Structure formats: C-alpha cells, structure tokens
Structure 1
Amino acid sequence: MTREMVIALMIALAVVLIALGVWAWLRRTRRDGGLVAPIAEAPADAVVVDRFEGFYVATTAHDAPLERLAIRGLGFRSRAAVTVMNAGVALDLTGQPRMFVPVADIVSVDRATVAIDRVVEPGGLVRLSWLIGDVTVDTFLRAQDAGSRALADAIAGILPRPLEPSTPTIPTGTDA
C-alpha cells in the first residue's frame, strides 16, 4: 500500500466517523424534540438565597446519567452561574438565555459522582432532578468555589418539607 492510499483511507474513515456522529446527534435531537428548556426570568418578587459559579455538565434522562438529552440550550457543557431563589433555581449558561426552574417543578436534589462526560470525586456533582412537562430529567452541575454540598444544601433549603407522619410515633425499647 502506498503512502497516498493510506492517507486517503484515513481521510475516508474520518469522514465516515464524523457523518455517523452527526447522524446520531440528529436522531437524538428528533427524539428529544418535545422537551423544551424553561427559558424564563424569575418572578419579580423572588428572593435570592445564594449564588454559585461553576459548570453546567449535562442534562440526562432521570436515573440514566449516561444518556444525554438533546434539549436546545442544554445540549452542551458550559460555564454556569446558578442562582438559588425562594421561588426556584435560575441557570445562566454561557451564550444561552436565562433558564428558570420553578420550585414546584423540582423533584429532588442530591450529589453524584458520574455524568455523561464527567467523573469526579464522590459527591462532586450536584444532581438536580426536575420536571419538563411530565418528564423527569436530571441536570448535573459542578460548583467551582463553594463546593457541591453547599449548592445542594441551598437548593434543598428551598424545597417544601415533607409532611409529618399522620400517625404518632410510639416509642419502643429503652426509649419507652
């Protein structure tokens, strides 16, 4: 095989791989076309609880951290400013309009280690589970200065508290 044939073969292989990647992304975009990012400003009376700088990692299907969703505005990793307010969470991603997730749409918040393109120390990512319509998605964030625990605690602080049990707790054992 000549040198020119090897170069031509490598170029052809690269073109095929790029074409497959584009085809896969277009299919994913069609699949996720019904999901729309919550482009909105926070309510005028919202009170800022805390603000964090860091990175937006990905938005994935709920409990599937390796399945990226192709939602316009949330498809790619970027720098982020996360503003936690009493009314919800605002995400300011580089080059995107502000996204606001109302507190009523937040399902849960916890910490994670793995997302689609990021593996960090245990608990180094914040996983914000929220609703787009009736679909639950997970958004992964990485706080830069304050740390993931502070961001997760700030978001958890705005969530409604679970209701108290309807039946009284009866002490047992030595506590009786």
Structure 2
Amino acid sequence: MTSPLILLAEAPQSAPVTDWAARLGWVAGLLVFVAFVYWLMRQGWKWRGTLQGDLPELPSTPDDPGEPRLRLSGRYHGSTTAGQWLDRIVARGLGIRSRVELTLTDQGLDVVRPGAADFFVPAAQLREARLDKGIAGKVLTEGGLLVVTWAHGDKLIDSGFRSDRAADHTAWADALNQLIHTTEGAR
C-alpha cells in the first residue's frame, strides 16, 4: 500500500494558464462599449444644441462698459432654463464649464471665460440674483452658488457662478439685486 504523500508527489498538476485571447477580447469589447457610450453622450449634447438653435447670439461687451462695482474670479458652472435647474442650455457655448472673471458695472454684467465664449448681460436684462445649491450637474452646499437670472431673446436663463472666495456670494447677490431694482425704476 502506498502512502498519500507519495501519491501527491507522483501526480503534479500545473497551475492554470491565462487565456490571453479571451482576456484581450473582453478588454477590447469593454473599450468599444465605453467609446459607444461616449459617442451617444456627444450626440445627445449636439442634439440639445440643435434644439436650442433659436437662441440669439450672446451680447458682447460694449466699448465702454463703465466703472466696475465688483469683480469676481471663480468658475462658471453653466446655464439652464430659469427655474428648471436640470434643463442645461448648451447653445452658444453656454453649456461649457470654465474659469470666469465677472465684472459688475452700471451697464450690466461682463462674463469673461478663458477658453469659452465671453458674453455681456445688459442691466436691463438682469432679472434676479440669488444664492442656491445647484445647477445642471453641479450640486454644492446651500448658498454655494451664485445664480443670476437674465432675459435673452424670449428665454429666461439662470447662469451659475462660484467664486474662489464663497464669502463674496452674498455681496454679489445684493449688488446685482440693487442694480436690477435701480434699472427697473428707470424703465
């Protein structure tokens, strides 16, 4: 009779071998799937821009915008249809997130975005400024976002900004609302 130790030594088994062809097939399939999902998202973005094609050109900064009341450096988080914080507007470059330099003057709000289209919101088209917690794809703590509502063509638009210094938001909302009420009184 043979001992079990001898049987183990007599029947060595090799370690399982990786099936590289199957593994590479799965990786290639996953990459194709990810590329397809990205392509679908890009097509959806383009389609949304086509649907919003009736949005007029964004106003540019006047030659003499006036004396600055306030300045802000921070981030532009996008624009939505007013009151509908998930309905992102992508036409005319309004859907592109970027750094931003805001300047408030008596004539309006100058929005300078490196790498994206700059625009100017005349004081007569400003409607409201408030502190909020979110706008299309960006949710922050309560009051972490300065949302400016403005009229453009026949649409009311909410644009979201976040200052590098969050303490600036309240002063900006107050100054914008004061300018709006002053402008409304002059109409």
Both proteins in one fold, TM over 0.5: yes
Confirm or deny that 1:116 pairs with 2:136: yes
Percent identity over the alignment? 25
Deviation of the 1:83 alpha carbon: 0.4
What amino acid is aligned across from residue 110 of structure 1 in structure 2? R
The structure 2 residue matched to 1:128, chosen from 117, 141, 148, is 148
What amino acid is aligned across from residue 86 of structure 2 in structure 1? L
For 1:154 and 1:130, the matched residues in 2 are separated by 15
TM-score by length of 1: 0.84
In structure 1, the residue matched to 2:60 is: 40
In structure 1, the residue matched to 2:173 is: 152
Structure 2 regions of 5+ residues with no counterpart?
A: 1-18
In structure 2, the residue matched to 1:6 is: 26
What amino acid is aligned across from residue 151 of structure 1 in structure 2? W
Deviation of the 1:37 alpha carbon: 4.7
Name whichever structure is richer in strand by fraction: 1
What amino acid is aligned across from residue 58 of structure 2 in structure 1? P
In structure 2, the residue matched to 1:166 is: none
Confirm or deny that 1:27 pairs with 2:47: yes
Structure 1 counterpart SS, 2:129: strand
Q: Which structure has the larger Rg over C-alpha atoms?
A: 2
Cα root mean square deviation, aligned: 1.9
Any conservation in 2 of the 1:66–1:115 contact (CA below 8 Å)?
yes
TM-score by length of 2: 0.79
What amino acid is aligned across from residue 133 of structure 2 in structure 1? T
Tell me the number of residue pairs that the alignment of Structure 1 and Structure 2 aligns.
163
In structure 2, the residue matched to 1:91 is: 111
Structure 1 regions of 5+ residues with no counterpart?
A: 164-176
